[in-house]
Chain A
């Protein structure tokens, strides 16, 4: 039986390779479906789902791929919900609540979404991501005042939160506050310059506010707010969790921070930062001259632009990015639901750095995130 299983597996792997090669030359919906089936047969349902996602992005009008992708995503969401609910019981942290709330929201379970957000806010009141999800619910319900309250709180906790700022500006427009909307949009352009969607919204807001629309923006985001003078505003999830919860979470935070510090210690590395799906800093070790929150927002913006368009660029799903500038490099790596960015000098030993990043990746993936 073992030999037969081996032969079957070998045949499936060969089929996978030939389908992948065929997709490179001339992609079709049928090929994506066949490849997804082959991965599923070989027991890799995660890879199968990724293939369907790539196929759906490439052929958004192909009904069978869209249907299969929606099915696969629903199954993934159910599995993820179970996993998160278990983890919240044993190793709670605010990211889990926000993620779980998002999954309920994706399935239209609004009451459970609100309930999860409220529990998350009660347990971790200083994490902006949960207020963002709650704000999104109120936007869907067209409860603009409530939405504004939640989103304002989210932005207060994390002034570089692109999603929260953008949604808040749209809510302000609904509330007849175009000048406030314009201000929030200008704040976004500070760390996401040239963002076409934001520029469009800004133009619309300024027209409604009777303000001139010019290329120069007047972001106030880089100025400290009252009571904040000189202090960096960074949300350290682990640190906040440690203040409120027990040893398990603070141990995780310590391990992530130690991991980031180990990366920083590699010769040629000038800093490292780990951010969650909202761009909020989870762990960081940077030069004191760099605002962690801003660095997190900038990197998230690059990641979001590149990963969101990875299929259009013909690279498949985004895995890593390497930015080379005159005075150094930035390595961006997707790790589970988080993004790692490592800043390094141009002469850093790439082999050593890549090994250190891989070691850190193992640490992150093993963590009860």
Chain B
């Protein structure tokens, strides 16, 4: 899993990434900045719960991705099957440039999680 993150983190605009299971437990992480991994994992799990509930009630189908833009950075939460891929990005990153890499990484995580 770390190899997937290491490859993803080489993309311009990405400050780090991690994989958590749906309960928020950290599976792997790789950040170039200081972060509180366990906090991020736990929060991601709460957000996922709120998102899945909302999407179900308003009939938008299964959760795919949630991108938060903040005053300092962006964070992408991506469905990766049994896990969630979290990617920390520069605030002003062009999402079009990183979308492909993030999608590939999520697919790779999904495949590995099945094993």
Contact = CB atoms under 8 A, between A and B. Distances in A.
A299 interface: yes
A327 B60 contact: yes
B1 interface: no
Interface in B3-57: 15, 33-36, 39-40, 43-44, 46-47, 49-55, 57
Size band of the A side of the interface?
A: 35 or more
Given A193-B53, A313-B43, A318 B68 contact: yes
A191 interface: yes
B71 A325 contact: no
B33 A309 contact: no
A10 B78 CA distance: 40
B58 A306 contact: no
B82 interface: no
B70 A313 contact: yes
Interface of B: prevailing SS: mixed
A261 to B, nearest CB: 19
A54 interface: yes
B70 A322 contact: no
Given A325-B64, A326-B60, A306 B47 contact: yes
Contacts, number: 141
B36 to A, nearest CB: 7
Interface in B84-113: 88, 91
A319 B92 CA distance: 13
Nearest to B96: A350
Contacts of A45: none
A309 B64 contact: no
Given A295-B58, A312-B39, A315-B72, 12 more contacts: A23-B72, A24-B33, A24-B72, A192-B53, A294-B57, A301-B54, A302-B50, A313-B44, A315-B88, A316-B71, A316-B73, A321-B69
Interface of B: 15, 33-36, 39-40, 43-44, 46-47, 49-55, 57-75, 88, 91
7 contacts: A193-B49, A195-B49, A299-B54, A302-B47, A312-B39, A314-B75, A326-B60
